[in-house]
Structure 1
Amino acid sequence: MKTLIPTNIITGFLGVGKTTAITHLLKHKPQDEIWSVLVNEFGEIGIDGAMLKSVNANVREVPGGCICCVAGLPMKIALNMMIATTKPDRIIIEPTGLGHPEEIINTLLGEYYDTVLDLRATITLIDPRKLGDSRYTENANFQDQIALADVLVANKTDVCGEPERLAFDNLVASFEPPKQAAFWVEQGALDAAWLDLPRTDHSVKNPQHHKKNRLSPQRELYNAAIRLPENERFVRRENAANGFYSCGWLFQPEIQFNFNQLFGWLSGADFLRAKAVMHTNEGVYMFNAENGVLSVNEVPLQSSDEILDSRIEVIDDKKILADEVEQVLLGVIIK
């Protein structure tokens, strides 16, 4: 009898810490198992795959939209290639924070995949501080990411207080039937045992919203390891949908940035979200900013050689002044 591949969707809105949580899981997975990750990002450049290289993950990326859109073709192609090439013991799917997981679930339960994958619990991460912010609570995708969860996880709890804990507990208690489980964690510290909780069927609050507001990928697939033509020092890519905007840059690997100047700019940058993996004069660093709060991590030496270029992506709910941002980036280049 053919063994089905355990598969989980880990979802959550922009900046909730999905990539950090998946990195934690990969660091603590059984040594003898191969885990593969399918990553989808709203932005066109693709940052999360580069971030996951720090844990030597098998990653396939579909940037530039929602992987379930355009009849699910981008997702199916990427997933099929990943299964064929990595032969994983487990698959984790990370949809864009602006995406809707319902059609992804439907695809994974549909014809062909029902004989290949064992779809287990969908885990939705929540920043409890956002439960009092109408920009999030009134967002249809935010609502349905929570509705479709089998497991709800409050993340970033190290910066939360008692009112946020109460808001999360009230949310968990509001579901009938109840969720499989709910947890309160810091730094995306998911327990791998939660992945094996069962999947259940759920009803969404906004069943037609995603069909009317598709985040269609600009390209069917994107190769994260692609190199720029030698005569191009960088490229810029932009995307917009559902009231959100993204702008990303990819730079040749020999271009080096001033770490201190880059750090200073990102610390004060007024974007909902900014992510980067950059070659700097102090090494290769990952930058992760949400609403002006910046975290920085050095890429280990054994992984930094795999980072073939510098990438940065910014996302906002207002149009991004791309030319101005680009001039800032060009101004902090050392060589």
Structure 2
Amino acid sequence: MSASDIPVSILSGGLGAGKTTTLNHLLENAPEEREIAVLVNDMGEVNVDAALVERQVTLDDDETTVTELSNGCICCGLANEFGQTIVELAKTVEFDALVVEPSGMSDPAEVAQTVRSNRQAAFHYNLDTIVTVVDAALFHDVFIAGAEVNEVTEDAKPLSDLLAEQVEFCDLVLLNKTDLVTDEELAEVESLIRALQPQADIETAERGRVDPCVLLDVGRFDLDRVSGGAGWKQAHKYHQEATDDEDGEGHDSDDHDHEDSHDNEGHSHEGHDHDDHLHPPEEFGLTSCNYGRPRPFHPERLVDWLADVPADVVRAKGLMWVAGRERHALNCNLAGTQVQVDVNGQWAATMPEFQRKAYREARPDLDWDEEWGDREIDLVFIGHDLDETAIQNSLDDCLLTDVEMDEDWERYENPFPGRAEEELVFDADVDKWGVATV
């Protein structure tokens, strides 16, 4: 094939979701004229998934090329090796399509970034689709039934947060193991997945049995659509536009894309949703609300609130300003019963004057306080029949009072991260906070 003609299908998903079973079914049923190369990643020293795929290939007397990368994750520690491996593969082996099965701990956004940003890889390959395989039963237990799932990934990321992020960055969700849930439970799972990622297609399957035509040569991947299509982003933008319509004005929501870093190069904000039609979560049986305030949270009261998040909240994301952490904007990630807080980057208000001036000139609609600059709280919640008033009132109780605004904030007990290398994780199932170094 010519440069950039080899389509890449990324087959992501959590541990035990059925990625390898799906991959084996794909290889067994793909058109005979299609030569498929496979790269399988495993966190362990022994790549069990690759061995399973290779065994199936051998049994079928197929000529599929299987490459393995072990003892690390291709979205972080092995990213460079991953890029080099697929480039070498394209140079030395003839094939028509590449299927990548990352480890269950991988972030598909980072895997896709490696394929797109590696110049040599981009010369040979074209991202075709990003598929997230979901265990329907586990997803129902974690996000709907509220079952105890205490597993935390090796980088201290809560399992539920990882599952949500894998759904939020994909263009196809393969709902697997549907035979393990009732029709009612399956409908609930589909509704929540559509709320988490309205832009993605959904296919259902048992034991990974899906038509190869939905995984190969589909031309489905669209970076703008995928990166901006997460439900919390759409809900945030939907509420912002509704506020603008009511007030006739409003701050530019493009300045508040929470997943992009607030760094000292000047808040990078890329990957916005360019779909003119926004999907309010209500369309999928859920509701959403925004919470924004130009005042910091009291760290001790916020810890108590996060330890007892309302049961109707299934997903929350956004930026937080916490007293005692004036330099950095903090990310809040809530999925299921688990909460993760880490450093997003520094506020523009803390940049050197020349950078701060350039940043403000480039964003004339940016809300700016003469004392506190761009510091703010900006959160979005998605859940079942959310009580917006109760959420807002309870969070308002966590804000600093007028008296506390004049106090020494350093005297507060503050577990929130103050460095990029730290993150705070809370698991409501075990009622425990943990501070990790990343």
Normalising by structure 1, what TM-score? 0.57
Correspondences of 1:236-315 after superposition (within 5 Å): none
Question: Quick one: which amino acid aligns to residue 79 of structure 1?
Answer: I
Residue aligning to 1:183: 203
Give the conservation status (yes or no) of the 8 Å contact 1:40–1:66. Answer: yes
Give the conservation status (yes or no) of the 8 Å contact 2:10–2:100. Answer: yes
Gaps of 5+ in 2: 59-63, 152-157, 233-257, 262-438
Change (3 A) 1:172 1:68: closer
Residue aligning to 1:155: 176
1:199 aligns with 2:221: yes
Give the conservation status (yes or no) of the 8 Å contact 1:38–1:78. Answer: no
Structure 1 CA distance for aligned equivalents of residues 198 and 135 of structure 2: 23
State the 1:176 CA deviation.
6.2
Correspondences of 1:132-151 after superposition (within 5 Å): 132-133=141-142, 135=149, 139-151=160-172
68, 75, 97: which is aligned to 2:82? 75
114, 120, 135: which is aligned to 2:122? 114
DSSP 3-state at the match of 1:67: coil
Bigger RCO of structures 1 and 2 (CA < 8 A, at least 6 apart): 1
- Deviations along 1:222-270, whole A, 9 cap, x unmatched? xxxxxxxxxxxxxxxxxxxxxxxxxxxxxxxxxxxxxxxxxxxxxxxxx
Change (3 A) 1:158 1:77: same
121, 127, 130: which is aligned to 2:135? 127
Give the conservation status (yes or no) of the 8 Å contact 1:151–1:182. Answer: yes
Residue aligning to 2:295: none
Give the conservation status (yes or no) of the 8 Å contact 1:12–1:18. Answer: yes
DSSP 3-state at the match of 1:189: coil
Structure 2 CA distance for aligned equivalents of residues 175 and 6 of structure 1: 26
195, 215, 231: which is aligned to 1:174? 195
1:65 aligns with 2:65: no
Greater mean alpha carbon deviation, residues 157-166 or residues 122-131: 157-166
Greater mean alpha carbon deviation, residues 122-131 or residues 135-144: 135-144
Structure 2 CA distance for aligned equivalents of residues 45 and 123 of structure 1: 24
Gaps of 5+ in 1: 210-335
Structure 1 CA distance for aligned equivalents of residues 112 and 44 of structure 2: 22
- Deviations along 1:28-71, whole A, 9 cap, x unmatched? 11212210111111111111121112224311111112113247
1:104 aligns with 2:111: yes
Residue aligning to 2:8: 7
DSSP 3-state at the match of 2:129: coil
60, 85, 89: which is aligned to 2:92? 85
State the 1:138 CA deviation.
5.9
State the 1:86 CA deviation.
2.3
Give the conservation status (yes or no) of the 8 Å contact 2:75–2:110. Answer: yes
State the 1:175 CA deviation.
4.6
DSSP 3-state at the match of 2:38: strand
Give the conservation status (yes or no) of the 8 Å contact 2:4–2:122. Answer: no
The structure with the largest alpha-carbon Rg is: 2
Residue aligning to 2:37: 36
Question: Quick one: which amino acid aligns to residue 99 of structure 2?
Answer: I
DSSP 3-state at the match of 2:113: helix
Structure 1 CA distance for aligned equivalents of residues 41 and 87 of structure 2: 15
Give the conservation status (yes or no) of the 8 Å contact 1:172–1:178. Answer: no
Structure 2 CA distance for aligned equivalents of residues 172 and 47 of structure 1: 29
- Deviations along 1:263-322, whole A, 9 cap, x unmatched? xxxxxxxxxxxxxxxxxxxxxxxxxxxxxxxxxxxxxxxxxxxxxxxxxxxxxxxxxxxx
Structure 2 CA distance for aligned equivalents of residues 108 and 3 of structure 1: 11
Question: Quick one: which amino acid aligns to residue 170 of structure 2?
Answer: A
Structure 1 CA distance for aligned equivalents of residues 159 and 77 of structure 2: 26
Give the conservation status (yes or no) of the 8 Å contact 2:176–2:205. Answer: yes
Change (3 A) 1:29 1:138: closer
Structure 2 CA distance for aligned equivalents of residues 167 and 38 of structure 1: 33
Structure 2 CA distance for aligned equivalents of residues 159 and 176 of structure 1: 23
Change (3 A) 1:208 1:39: farther
State the 1:99 CA deviation.
1.4
Structure 1 CA distance for aligned equivalents of residues 159 and 34 of structure 2: 40
Give the conservation status (yes or no) of the 8 Å contact 2:168–2:197. Answer: no
DSSP 3-state at the match of 1:123: strand
State the 1:120 CA deviation.
1.1
Change (3 A) 1:116 1:138: same
Structure 1 CA distance for aligned equivalents of residues 172 and 28 of structure 2: 21
Sequence identity percentage: 26
State the 1:208 CA deviation.
8.2
State the 1:77 CA deviation.
2.5
Structure 2 CA distance for aligned equivalents of residues 100 and 8 of structure 1: 15
State the 1:16 CA deviation.
0.6
Structure 2 CA distance for aligned equivalents of residues 17 and 183 of structure 1: 14
Give the conservation status (yes or no) of the 8 Å contact 1:20–1:187. Answer: yes
